[in-house]
Amino acid sequence: MSTEDTSRFVRLRVELVLEIEDSDALTRAALERIVDDPDMPAGERVQAESAVTEDTAEALAYLVDPFDLVSEVPGAELAQASWSAEGIDYDPDSPDGYLDEDDVEEDDESERAGGGA
């Protein structure tokens, strides 16, 4: 298949499970990021500060930037990104502890279709 036949765009899916060892430090860092953002309107700033104070996952989402993950990849430019964070039940001793029900169904469908996980 020639380069002209393939898409120039690639979807990269990354799923991470992080253990939050110090939620106060995480919240403080997110609040600092919000305060240091000169482009954030005052009304949005108040809403963002409230969100990161009430929810550790929101604080994490404010600190993770997909651009930072790929900015140094040669020959690639970030075209679009979306991300979210949510608290989950996680059992590190379970081989499937990182998967939620939707992921399991998608993997099963992919395997039935001849794809692999």
Return the closest-CA partner of residue 31 out of 58, 52, 60, 8: 52
What local confidence, expressed as pLDDT, does residue 27 receive?
98
Tokens 């550790």 sit at which residue?
A: 56
Q: Which pLDDT tens digit goes with each residue over 2-49?
A: 556 678 999 999 888 999 999 999 999 999 999 999 999 999 999 999
Contact of 29 with 58, CB cutoff 8 Å? no
Q: In terms of Cα–Cα distance, which of 64, 57, 99 is closest to 81? A: 64
**CA 58 to chain CA centroid, nearest Å:** 11
**For 36-63, how does the pLDDT look when each residue is reduced to its tens digit (9 = 90+)?**
999 999 999 999 999 999 999 999 999 9
110: pLDDT strictly greater than 50? no
pLDDT of residue 112: 46
Over residues 55-83, mean pLDDT? 92
